[in-house]
Structures are given as structure tokens and as C-alpha cells.
Amino acid sequence: MKVIADTHCHTIASGHAYSSVLEIITAAAKQKLWAVAITDHGRTTPNSPGDWYFENLFVVPKIVDGVYVLKGMEANVWDYDGNLDASNLVFSRLDWVVASMHSETLKPINDIDACTNAWLGVAKNPFVNVIGHSGEERYKYDYDRVIPEFAHNGKLVEINNASFRVRKNAIENCKKIALICKKYGVYIIVNSDAHFASQVGHVEVALEMLKEIGFPDELIINGYKEKFERYLRERTKFFS
């Protein structure tokens, strides 16, 4: 198994990542990816770009170096009702939205009910495509209750390769999340969360974990061009 798309990558615009948009795309081409998503952090992350950065992303061509480029954002879930830190106007200009919780923008309160409520709110947001790295213990939620709701609303559950390096306390929960996805037949998406170009397309550790727990390949949506392309056609305006 090798992924054909990496849909969670940061550029220098995030303020704490170190490659340009072009360097990320060039790296994706080198990895022979079919698509890559540029997903800089939403405006409440310290040093992240403002609305106009995201609204103007359409200047980046749809295909660069033979790679489809999804213009996106990693939006912050910034309250326990599941509100995100960008307006619908900004979201409507983008192809791709990852929604994640970060301690800089959502104070962890270690409350399963509150996090369940937050993710159920995110599940209803029509602009969100990916539920980003949701395995952190301090943001634990009711997986059995929420994950089927993600699927019901067309969201993809991310297994994030960087979690195995920077969020080690999340590894056990990532396995549990994957197993719940397996149980309900929910699509996952395996992303690098690259903060430097050389990380683009590298999701080996996450794939290794999935193999270890017997996760079915056919539920890895970015393992197959046909499946991922169908998602883009049915659930986004990328090809319209």
C-alpha cells in the first residue's frame, strides 16, 4: 500500500513550517502523488495567515508538475460546540478543509462529553472533509457515537503519520479510532501533516500500524486514485 494523495501539508505561511507551496508540490510530484492539499493553519493559530491568504489561494494552478493541488486549510475547532476559526465565506473559496483540535486554540479540559459534543458539531459542518488527528487523550471523545456520524456526513477520519512522532500519547487512541472505523466501515485518510517538504507523502509509520491491527486496505480512501477521485467529485467542488 502506498498513498496517492497527501491531504494535510503545511507551508511557511503557517508560521512554524519551513517549505513553500511550490516546494511542497514538487515534493509531491517526486513522490509520484496524484494530489496534494495545502492546509495551512486557521487564523487563531499563533503566526498563521489571515483570511486573504486563503481567499487568494485560487492563484495557485489546479495542476502543478502533474499533481492536482487542493487549496485548503487546517481549521481549528475553537470551542466545545464544534465551531471553527474561519467564516463560511473563506471556506467556500477552498477545496479542502481539515478540522483539528490544538491546545493553542482550544483549552483541553479532559471532558469526553464536551469533546463528543464538539466533534458532533464539526460533523454537521458541510465544509469539513477531514477530521484531523483526533486521537489525543486530552481530547478523547466517544468514538462509537461520533465516528459513524462523521461517515454519515461525508467526513474522512484521518490517521496522521506525524502523531507517531509528535503526539506519542495518541498512538493507542489512533489504533482504537482505526478499529472503530473498521467496525462501522468508515473511510479513513492517511496523511503526513508535513511541516517540511521532505515529509510529504511519507505515511509509512501510520500504514505500519494499520497493517498491524488488520485494518482493511479498501477503507483507506487515499490508497486508491478511483476512490479518492470519486470522493472529490461527489463531496467537493474541485472538479466542477
Instruction: Tell me the backbone φ, ψ of residue 41, rounded to 5 degrees.
Output: -70, 150
CB of residue 233 to Zn ion, shortest distance in Å = 25
- DSSP code of residue 142: -
CB of residue 185 to Zn ion, shortest distance in Å = 26
Distance (Å, whole) CA 78 – CA 101: 7
The answer to whether 129 and 236 have CB atoms below 8 angstroms apart is yes
Residue (117 or 160) nearer to Zn ion, CB: 160
| Pair type for strands 35-41 and 63-64 | unpaired
What is the residue whose three cell numbers read 492539499?
A: 37
CB of residue 176 to Zn ion, shortest distance in Å = 19
State whether the Cα torsion 39-86-133-158 is positive or negative. negative
Residues 59-88 that bind Zn ion (CB under 5 A): 74
Number of residues that bind Zn ion (CB under 5 A): 3
CB of residue 76 to Zn ion, shortest distance in Å = 8
Among 7, 26, 100, 117, binds Zn ion (CB under 5 A): 100
Distance (Å, whole) CA 139 – CA 83: 15
Residue (74 or 123) nearer to Zn ion, CB: 74
CB atoms within 10 A of CB 135: 23
Task: From 29-37, 47-55, 81-89, 185-193, give the range in contact with Zn ion by CB under 5 A.
Answer: 185-193
CB of residue 218 to Zn ion, shortest distance in Å = 26
The answer to whether 38 and 24 have CB atoms below 8 angstroms apart is yes
Extract the C-alpha cell encoding 204. 509509512
Per the DSSP assignment, residues forming a β-bridge with 190 are 159
Residue (167 or 182) nearer to Zn ion, CB: 167
Task: Give residue number: closest CB to Zn ion.
Answer: 100
Residue (120 or 194) nearer to Zn ion, CB: 194
Among 193, 206, 221, 238, binds Zn ion (CB under 5 A): 193
Residue (198 or 216) nearer to Zn ion, CB: 198
Task: From 54-62, 187-195, 201-209, 227-235, give the range in contact with Zn ion by CB under 5 A.
Answer: 187-195
Q: How many residues does the chain have?
A: 240
CB of residue 98 to Zn ion, shortest distance in Å = 7
Distance (Å, whole) CA 224 – CA 34: 10
Q: Which residues bind Zn ion (CB under 5 A)?
A: 74, 100, 193
